[in-house]
Chains A and B, each alone.
Chain A
C-alpha cells in the first residue's frame, strides 16, 4: 500500500487503440493488486481491471492538449492507453504502477495475497489434483525397464531437478552420479515419456561437459543403460535442439555435445532452434507489428516475416515431430539443449502432445505442463519476469509451446478436448502470478517458499470451470483423436495467432462463434437425451401401473420446453450487443448480465476484464475501421475538381 502515491484519479480517458476517436471517460483507482478503470458514463458503468503483476511496462509520453498519455502494456498482450488530465497525477500514477508491477521479492507476488473464499481443506485438495506419479503409473512405470530413483533426494545431485525421477533399470547409483557430474547443472538424462506399446522413451538432460575432448565413462554407460531399457531397438537418437554453431561455441567453455565415436549406438542430430535471446527479440518484433494502428496487408505480412516468429515456431514443431516419429517407430531419444530447461522442455512436451492422445485432453495438458515444465525446472521467475531480475533472461519459451499446441489444434480441430480459450487462460495465469503453480524456478524453490501450503492451484480452478474450456468438436473416437498426430509442417500451415496476440482487440475477431453454438447444441442434445430416457422410464412405469396409451406419451414429449428456450437464446447471437462479444465473452446462451456489479471479487477479475471489453466495443467498430483507412485526404488534394470530403468525417 505504501507504493500507492495516488489512490484515485478522475476524468481519465481510456482511448480505443484501433480508433482513437472513440474513448471512454472515467475514474482510475489504484489498489495494491489492481488498477481499475470505472467508466463514468451513466448507462455504461463498465470496468477495466488491470492486474499489476501482469503489467510488463508503463510508459509516460509527452503531454498534449488533451492530457498526459500513459501507456500500459501487459504480459497477456493487452495494451491500455490512458490520458490523464494533470501531468502531476499522471506522474504519480506512473511511479505507483511502475513500482506495483515490479515485484522485488517472492513475498510480493499476487498468489500470496490472493485469498478466494475457499477453505483450507479444499485448498489442500487443489494441489493433489494433478499428481505426476499417477501419470508415470499411467505410462506403466515403474516396470522391469525403468525404476524410480532416489538419487536426487534433497536435491543433492541436481538442485534444479525434481526429487523423484525415472531412470533405466540398469543405471546404478555411481552411473547416475557420474553422469550428473558430466552434465551442466547436474541435469543427467532422466525419463520424460515412455511408450507402453513399444518401450521407446524420451529422455532429457542438459549438455555434456565434453569440451573439445573430455569423456565420462558413467555418462556413456548412462546412455547405454537408456538404450538397454528399450530392448527392441539397437540404437537411439541424441537430439541436440541447438543450431550446430551454438553447440560448437559451447565447447570452448568446456561444454558441448556428445561425440558419436565415444557413445555406442547413438545417432546424433542437431535441430537448429534458436536461443532465448533470439526468441525474445523475435516476439518483440512481432508484437510491434500487432500494435500497428492500421497496417496495410503488406505492412502486416512483411512485419510478420521479418520478426521470424513463425519460423521459430516451425523449428520447435519440426523438432517435436522428429522426436515423436522416432518414438512411434520404437527408437528412444535423448533430448538436450544447453541447460535442458528451455528448448528441451518445449520439444519434449510437443512430442508428448503428438504421441499420446492423453495429453490432448484437458487433464492431460495440465499434467504435461506440470511434468515437463514445472517439475523439470523451467525458470519461470526469469523467463516470465515475475520478479525484477536480469531482463536478458526474459523469454517467451512457454508461449511458443502453447502456440505449437494451438497450431496443431488448427490443423486437427477434432483432436483436442480443450479449446483455444484454455491455452489463452493458461498463458494468462503463467504470467499473472495469481496461482502458485508457476512461482519459483524449480521444485526445491517451491518447497522453500511453501507454495503448496500458501497458494492456490490453477489446475483445479480450470477443472472447476472446465465447461468453458471444452472443445465441442472433440470426440474420443474421432479419427483425428487417435494415436500419433502427423501434422503437416509445410510453411503455409503456420498461422499468426490472432486469438492470443491481438486478444484484446475485439474488432478483429470473428463476430460469431461456432464453438459456442456447438457447445450449446451438444449440451442440449445430452439434456434432451437424458430427458427422453427419463420420460421413457416414466412411460414404462405408467404403462405398467395404469396401462397408458402411446398417444398420451407423445403429448408429454411435445411439452419439452428446452427446445423453445434454446431457439430464442440463439437469436441473441445476432443482436448488436453480442456482435463483438467474440469468442471469449459470454456466449449467447450463458447470459451474464453485462456490467452488473461495480466491484467484483478479485478471483473473477479475468472474466470482468473480458466482459467489459465486449461492452466497450459495439457494432460500429467495424465501420469506423473502414473509413479511417480512407486514402481520400491525399487524393482530394491532387484532384483539381476537389469535390470529395473525407467520408469518415461525413
Chain B
C-alpha cells in the first residue's frame, strides 16, 4: 500500500481539538491511511475521536509563524518548541461537523493538512476503507445485500401471471446501469427489450419497479426516449408500454421535467412519448430540480445554517433563497401525484426524466412509502433503498463524492439521496406512528452515503460493483443495520403499522427544516435528541409494565 507515501507526519502531540458541543481538549493526533485519530491526554479522561478521512469535505489551514500559542497553551513547557510557530487546521466534514485542530509546529501542521487533503479524496474505489474494514461480528461469507432481483421476483407471486424476470442484461451489455435481472411484461421478449434499450438513454428501458397489490397497478421507470428533433419512434417501445396496461386502460407518464425542458431535450437527441404514438398514455410534467442546481441549493442552505449571527430576516431570506425546502415540496407533491394515480385512481404509471437515475428514483421511492405498508418497516425500507437506489443504479460515487463544504466543484455531485432522506423525515414528522424506523436511521444513512465503513454505497452501479468485487470484499451496511442491537436502536418505538396510504401534506406550513440533520451539531439538536430518548424510555417502561 502506498498510503504511507502520503503521510509525512503520522503523530503529533499537544494538539488542541475544538469541536461543537464540547470544551476544547488537548491530546495526540494520529493520521493513518483512512482515519484521523485524536486521543485526549487529559487527567482521568480517555476521550477519543475517530474520523474517517473520507468524511472530510474541506480543509482550511492557517499558519502563524511569529507569535506563540494562544493563551490556552501558553505554558512555558510548550512555548519554545519549533520557535513558537503553530498552525490551525479547520476540518469541515460531510456530516456537517466542523472541527478545529491547533497543531504546534508549522511544518507538522502543513504535513498533516497535506495528508488529509490527499487521503480524503482518493478516487480509486478499491483503496477505500470498506475494503479494509473487518469487524469481528460480520463475515465476508455472509450474503451481501438483503435481496436480489431474482428473489424479489420469486417472492412476488402475484406478478408471475403477467410479468417475467428477464436476464437480457446478464452481462450488463444492454444497459450498463441496470442489474443483471429485471422485471418486464411477459409478452415482451428479450430481442424486443434490446431494441427498446437502444431507444432509451443509457439503455434504461422501462422496467417494473412497484406492483400495487390492492389493485394490480404498477409503477414502471426508465430514462427518456431518444426521439430527437425529427420525432423518431420505436415500435418495440410502444409495444412494451402497451403491454403494461391492459387494452382499454389508460396509463400515466410522469415526466420529471417541464414541457419546455422536454422540447429542448429533443434538440439534443432526447425527447418524450408523443401522444400520437402512445395514445393510451397521458403525460404529466412536474419540473424537478437536479444535478448542479440541487448541489448549489444544499451549499446555500448549509451556509445559512452555519452562521448564528444573522438576524431572523436574513435567516429566512437565506433559507428561502437556498430553495431546499421548495425542492422538498416538489418531490413530495410529485410523489403524491404518482401515488394518487396508482392508489386512488387505479392507473399504472411510468416515471422518467432524463437519465432516470435521480429524480425518477426519488419519487418512485417516496410513492412506495406512501402506498406500501411493507416499505415502511425497517427491513422494508432498507430493501426499498437497496432495490431502488443501489440495484437500480443511482451513481452514488459521482453524486456523493463531495458535500456542502468542498471547494472542488465537480460536475456530477448532487444530493438527491439526501433530498430523499429529508422527504422521508417530513413523512415521519407528519405520520410519527406510521414508519417502523427512527430519525436516527435517516441520520445514519445521511452519514454513510458520504463516508462509510461499508461497501453498500460504493460505485455507480451493479456492473462497477461486480468488477471491483465489492460484494465479496466489503460488508453490507443494510445487513449490519439489521443486527439485533442496531435494529433496536433504529426502530421507531411508536410504530403502529397501518395498511392505509399515508398522504403527506405539502403546504409550506407543513414542511420544516430538517433540524436533526442541518443543525445537528447545535445545542438545539442536542435537546431534541434527548426527547427521542425520553420517548423511547417511556415506551420501554410501558412495555415492561404491560408484560408483567
- Considering the chains assembled together, what is the distance between the CA atoms of A299 and B320 in angstroms? 9
- Which of the residues B316, B511, B542 comes within 8 Å of A525, measured between beta carbons? B542
Which residue among A311, A412, A626 has the maximum number of chain B CB atoms within 10 Å of its CB?
A: A626
Q: Contact between A491 and B310 (Cβ–Cβ < 8 Å)? A: yes
Residues of A within 8 A of B326 (CB): 296-298
A305-B317, A480-B530, A644-B282 known; A627-B337 Cβ under 8 A: yes
Q: Contact between A491 and B530 (Cβ–Cβ < 8 Å)? A: no
- Considering the chains assembled together, what is the distance between the CA atoms of A472 and B275 in angstroms? 57
Interface-located stretch among A6-14, A327-335, A417-425, A633-641: A633-641
The yes or no answer to A212 lying at the interface (CB within 8 A) is no
- Considering the chains assembled together, what is the distance between the CA atoms of A494 and B311 in angstroms? 11
Interface-located stretch among A182-190, A380-388, A509-517, A544-552: A509-517
Q: Contact between B320 and A301 (Cβ–Cβ < 8 Å)? A: yes
Residues of A within 8 A of B285 (CB): 631-632, 635, 644
Q: Which of A472-486 contact B (CB under 8 A)?
A: 472-473, 475, 478-480
Q: Contact between A479 and B530 (Cβ–Cβ < 8 Å)? A: yes
Interface-located stretch among B181-189, B191-199, B391-399, B532-540: B532-540
The yes or no answer to A603 lying at the interface (CB within 8 A) is no
Residue interface bits A504-542, CB-to-B below 8 A is 1, else 0: 010111111110011001101100110010000000000
Q: Contact between B494 and A511 (Cβ–Cβ < 8 Å)? A: no
- Which of the residues B310, B511, B546 comes within 8 Å of A297, measured between beta carbons? B511
- Which of the residues A302, A491, A579 comes within 8 Å of B315, measured between beta carbons? A491
- Considering the chains assembled together, what is the distance between the CA atoms of A622 and B502 in angstroms? 9
The yes or no answer to B223 lying at the interface (CB within 8 A) is no
Residues of A within 8 A of B345 (CB): 650
- Considering the chains assembled together, what is the distance between the CA atoms of A525 and B494 in angstroms? 15
- Which of the residues A411, A414, A508, A570 comes within 8 Å of B505, measured between beta carbons? A508
The yes or no answer to A496 lying at the interface (CB within 8 A) is yes
* A15 nearest CB across to chain B (Å): 17
The yes or no answer to A629 lying at the interface (CB within 8 A) is yes
Q: Contact between B259 and A510 (Cβ–Cβ < 8 Å)? A: no
- Which of the residues A297, A310, A413, A496 comes within 8 Å of B531, measured between beta carbons? A413
Chain B contact residue count (CB 8 A cutoff) = 82
- Considering the chains assembled together, what is the distance between the CA atoms of A294 and B508 in angstroms? 9
Q: Contact between B320 and A305 (Cβ–Cβ < 8 Å)? A: yes
- Considering the chains assembled together, what is the distance between the CA atoms of A573 and B503 in angstroms? 15
- Considering the chains assembled together, what is the distance between the CA atoms of A310 and B328 in angstroms? 23
Q: Contact between A647 and B337 (Cβ–Cβ < 8 Å)? A: yes
Q: Contact between B524 and A488 (Cβ–Cβ < 8 Å)? A: yes
Q: Contact between A529 and B545 (Cβ–Cβ < 8 Å)? A: yes
A414-B534, A512-B434 known; A574-B340 Cβ under 8 A: no
- Considering the chains assembled together, what is the distance between the CA atoms of A627 and B274 in angstroms? 23
- Which of the residues A297, A524, A532, A622 comes within 8 Å of B325, measured between beta carbons? A297
* A503 nearest CB across to chain B (Å): 11
The yes or no answer to B485 lying at the interface (CB within 8 A) is no
Residues of B within 8 A of A631 (CB): 258, 285-287
Residues of A within 8 A of B433 (CB): 512, 514, 517, 573-574
- Considering the chains assembled together, what is the distance between the CA atoms of A311 and B312 in angstroms? 5
- Considering the chains assembled together, what is the distance between the CA atoms of A579 and B503 in angstroms? 10
The yes or no answer to A502 lying at the interface (CB within 8 A) is yes
The yes or no answer to A374 lying at the interface (CB within 8 A) is no
Q: Contact between A510 and B531 (Cβ–Cβ < 8 Å)? A: no
Q: Contact between A295 and B311 (Cβ–Cβ < 8 Å)? A: no
Q: Which of B94-119 contact A (CB under 8 A)?
A: none
- Considering the chains assembled together, what is the distance between the CA atoms of A504 and B420 in angstroms? 30
The yes or no answer to B430 lying at the interface (CB within 8 A) is yes
The yes or no answer to B431 lying at the interface (CB within 8 A) is yes
Q: Contact between B314 and A491 (Cβ–Cβ < 8 Å)? A: yes
The yes or no answer to A563 lying at the interface (CB within 8 A) is yes
The yes or no answer to B409 lying at the interface (CB within 8 A) is no
A495-B512, A650-B345 known; A511-B311 Cβ under 8 A: no
Q: Contact between A301 and B505 (Cβ–Cβ < 8 Å)? A: no
Q: Contact between A623 and B496 (Cβ–Cβ < 8 Å)? A: no
Q: Contact between B432 and A510 (Cβ–Cβ < 8 Å)? A: yes
* B516 nearest CB across to chain A (Å): 13
- Considering the chains assembled together, what is the distance between the CA atoms of A557 and B274 in angstroms? 68
The yes or no answer to A498 lying at the interface (CB within 8 A) is yes
- Which of the residues A492, A571, A642 comes within 8 Å of B513, measured between beta carbons? A492
The yes or no answer to A643 lying at the interface (CB within 8 A) is yes
Residues of B within 8 A of A311 (CB): 311-313
- Which of the residues A473, A579, A630 comes within 8 Å of B534, measured between beta carbons? A473
- Which of the residues B286, B522, B535, B545 comes within 8 Å of A488, measured between beta carbons? B522
- Considering the chains assembled together, what is the distance between the CA atoms of A509 and B313 in angstroms? 25
The yes or no answer to B429 lying at the interface (CB within 8 A) is yes
Q: Contact between B538 and A472 (Cβ–Cβ < 8 Å)? A: yes
- Considering the chains assembled together, what is the distance between the CA atoms of A650 and B329 in angstroms? 22
A492-B305, A626-B336 known; A507-B505 Cβ under 8 A: yes
Q: Which of A202-251 contact B (CB under 8 A)?
A: none
Residues of A within 8 A of B506 (CB): 622, 625-626, 629
* B314 nearest CB across to chain A (Å): 7
Residues of A within 8 A of B519 (CB): 492
The yes or no answer to B527 lying at the interface (CB within 8 A) is yes
Residues of B within 8 A of A638 (CB): 259-260
- Considering the chains assembled together, what is the distance between the CA atoms of A626 and B317 in angstroms? 26
A314-B312, A629-B333 known; A639-B259 Cβ under 8 A: yes
The yes or no answer to B10 lying at the interface (CB within 8 A) is no
Q: Contact between A296 and B508 (Cβ–Cβ < 8 Å)? A: yes
The yes or no answer to B440 lying at the interface (CB within 8 A) is no
Q: Contact between B494 and A514 (Cβ–Cβ < 8 Å)? A: yes
- Smallest CB gap from A516: residue in B: B433
- Considering the chains assembled together, what is the distance between the CA atoms of A412 and B496 in angstroms? 26
* A354 nearest CB across to chain B (Å): 14
- Considering the chains assembled together, what is the distance between the CA atoms of A525 and B546 in angstroms? 7
Q: Contact between B333 and A576 (Cβ–Cβ < 8 Å)? A: no
Residues of B within 8 A of A512 (CB): 430-434
- Considering the chains assembled together, what is the distance between the CA atoms of A521 and B336 in angstroms? 32
Residues of A within 8 A of B320 (CB): 297-298, 301-302, 305
Q: Contact between A491 and B507 (Cβ–Cβ < 8 Å)? A: no
Residue interface bits B493-522, CB-to-A below 8 A is 1, else 0: 010101110111111111111010001001
- Considering the chains assembled together, what is the distance between the CA atoms of A620 and B336 in angstroms? 12
- Which of the residues B328, B509, B512 comes within 8 Å of A502, measured between beta carbons? B509
- Which of the residues A305, A478, A570 comes within 8 Å of B496, measured between beta carbons? A570
- Considering the chains assembled together, what is the distance between the CA atoms of A412 and B524 in angstroms? 8
The yes or no answer to A252 lying at the interface (CB within 8 A) is no
The yes or no answer to A278 lying at the interface (CB within 8 A) is no
Residues of A within 8 A of B512 (CB): 495
The yes or no answer to B319 lying at the interface (CB within 8 A) is yes
Residues of B within 8 A of A508 (CB): 505, 507, 509-510
Known: A305-B320, A472-B538. 9 other contacts (CB 8 A): A297-B511, A301-B508, A310-B316, A488-B308, A510-B431, A514-B535, A532-B545, A626-B340, A644-B282
Interface residues of A (CB under 8 A from B): 18, 290, 294-302, 304-305, 308, 310-311, 314, 411-414, 472-473, 475, 478-480, 488, 490-496, 498, 502, 505, 507-514, 517-518, 521-522, 524-525, 528-529, 532, 557, 563, 570-571, 573-576, 579, 619-620, 622-623, 625-627, 629-632, 635-636, 638-639, 641-645, 647, 650
8 pairs, A vs B, C-beta closer than 8 Å: A290-B509, A301-B508, A311-B311, A472-B538, A491-B315, A492-B319, A631-B285, A632-B285
| Pairs A-B, 8 closest by C-beta atoms | A643-B275, A574-B498, A622-B503, A491-B315, A300-B508, A301-B320, A305-B316, A626-B336
